[in-house]
Structure 1
Amino acid sequence: MTEKIKSKFSFQADWQRNLVVLWFGCFMTGVGSSLITPFISLYVSSLGHFSKTELNLWSGAIFAASFVVLAIVSPLWGKLADEKGRKLMLLRASLGMAITITLMAYVTAAWQLLLLRMLLGAFSGFISNSMALMASSSPKEKSGRVMSVLTTGSVAGTLIGPLIGGVLVAWVGYRHVFNVTGVIMFLVFLLALFFVKENFTPVKKDQVAQGFKQVFSLFSHPAVIWGMFLTTMITQMTNQSINPVLSLYVRELMHYQGNITLMAGIIAAAPGLVTLVVAPQLGRLGDRIGQKKILGAGLFFSMVVFAATAFSQSVTFLLIMRFLVGVSDAAILPSVQAILAKEAPRQVTGRIFSYNQSAQAIGAFAGPLLGSVIAGFIDYRYVFVASSILVIINLFNYFTHTGGLKSRALWS
């Protein structure tokens, strides 16, 4: 059976087959990391008797744990990927996630779930290593399209994950959701094992760049790479900042009437839906006209959209603005990935994408915290004002870190 399936991919180049398999892997990784979101507090409450304050603290800690650990360990896995190969890291990540998520079905206390969420962050890295593998194996002139396609996989998974989680909870209960996800992640492991091909030549340990200084000495323009990391972190902060209080803001705009939960879910999903559709087109356009133009346009558009969102007077206007956020994400996120793919020397590709994943995890952790504080002490709409200010900082970062590269074909 395996040979029959393999034959279906025989007409494709290795990198094209890899792209198909890794898209599905990124999609399922996004699902696995986000399906707990709708019911994390409810699941925690079933593990003991907690006061309201205790429940909120446990839920927040459990939700954030994987991001904090991911930000710390990702560079370590990236270094190992450059030494041993990216496919090995794909297998490590997918199998580790399969085991860890499955074990979440059998916890009996909140501290056990917290520990497993930390392990989930420690085993993560499938998406960053997929990016690194495709960056090192696909044609450079197609980097924009390739990175856009992979981005749609992770975005779609993260978008659909909460929906799948909610449906499965209603159907089979909390615990079996983790069993189902674990099985799917094991399927991702098998697909990566049998169908992903990497032409990797091991590098002797003493020849591998050690530490940040040596890694960045390999770049002719290291400021560009640092600029992309900052762009990723700020973009994640602005995207995630409203999430903790989105349903409360929607309730206020709807004047406490109507199906608030449904509308909040639609608005939460809106950016991802648009990114899923638009990102491949903008990726192809970036390959033709230059990623710098797409990235700059996306940042400017993002600033305008967040500023306009602060003036929302109706849920319809908020929904439209969130759709437009998806357009800016479709321009920003794949452009960053494509730029890193084109700039990174092959011997440090794994670390560069792992560093970027660390930046993403920091933004995913800091954004909701910032949004909650602003909404709690000022007002919901000022979350969008703060997001707009962050994008202005991102634009300043864009001009200061890429301005000297106008003559290069990549940035034309």
Structure 2
Amino acid sequence: MTSHVRQLDVAADLLALLHNTSTEPRDDDQLDALTLAVSADLPVLLWGEPGIGKTAALTQLAESLELPLTTVIASVHEPSDFAGLPVVGDDPATQGVPMAPPDWAVRLVRAGRGLLFLDELSTAPPAVQAALLRVVLERRIGALRLPPGVRIVAAANPRSSAADGWELSPPLANRFVHLQWAHDHDVVVRGLGGTWPAATLPRLDPARLAEAVAFARRAVCELLAARPNLVHQLPKNEARRGGPWPSPRSWEMALRLIAFATAAGTSREVLSMLVRGAVGDGPGLELLAGLDRMDLPDPETLLADPAAAVLPERGDLRQAVLDGVVAAVRKRPEESRWNAAWSLLVLALDTGAPDLVVVPASTLAALRRDDWQVPPEIERLAGAVSVARRADQAVERVGAGSRR
């Protein structure tokens, strides 16, 4: 008997060594997206195949943030476990019947902080999903309200791989930021070796908070003002209703995510995952394209000091900047501004693909007035885009028109 007990002690020591892991800083977009959404106090739903590491990621996140983790398997609970159990008091006629919360909710309230993990959400029947609506949005369980220090994260398997799975109801789906969780080969191998990526909350710059809020509001409002049909768009397909789709609620989530990402200097890849996880791929990509345009330098600033100009590296953004510069010259044609625009085209030619300057150069050449001197920059561009020939043709057309 004593020998068996000792062997169990040795087994416990071995298990402890297996659980003894460390963390290291590592670029991990999906983990960064999760921590930013948690920082923004938005409910997150992780979608992924069974065994992909969703639960392990949440456990590691709770440990890294030093938050107590409370795991609730949604599919094995009754609706009353979330709505509260009725408890008859001394005088129900005057005091009513209070709804008593479950013990895990009481522990979270007492702790004042924690990570509530709602696992197996896609296997919860519709009645349980309905009971979870107040938990996710209003943070209420029975008569209790979860304190601000509690964050909510859920996990679900696609219906095709879930055990007796259900489609997520549209009202519940629209309350989450949806993140597709996939394994990274290097992360898994490194983690099984004992070192996992460190989960850290984004570092918000206090000096950029007001700017971040203004930027986020402008981005969302400008898109919805131009595309009013995107304000609310419930998908017709039942499966897509269980994912991210645009509504006033999810646009508010997207706005908050942009503000937090801006204040934290988050990468565009991470922001893309979050925005598309809030409002869906199509509307999310439109919003991201609008953000790119908002980040572009002002054409007037570039024309005022071409020598100090810095052009975007991405080809589509660079093309938009050059088109904006030419449009600004067309709007207020002056020789100095025309010459400055040619300097910017030369800069674009020297630092990027030559084909990007062909259309702007052709348009700019056509804006030349009779009394404007042809700048030497045109010769720099001639070999790449035949600008000199185009400029001569434009001058001939202008001259012919003036002689008529």
Q: What is the TM-score with the length of structure 1 in the denominator?
A: 0.24
Greater share of strand: 2
Greater relative CO, 1 or 2 (CA 8 Å, sep 6+): 1
Instruction: With the length of structure 2 as denominator, give the TM-score of the two structures.
Output: 0.24
Of the two, which has the highest radius of gyration? Answer: 2
Between Structure 1 and Structure 2, the one with more helix by share is: 1
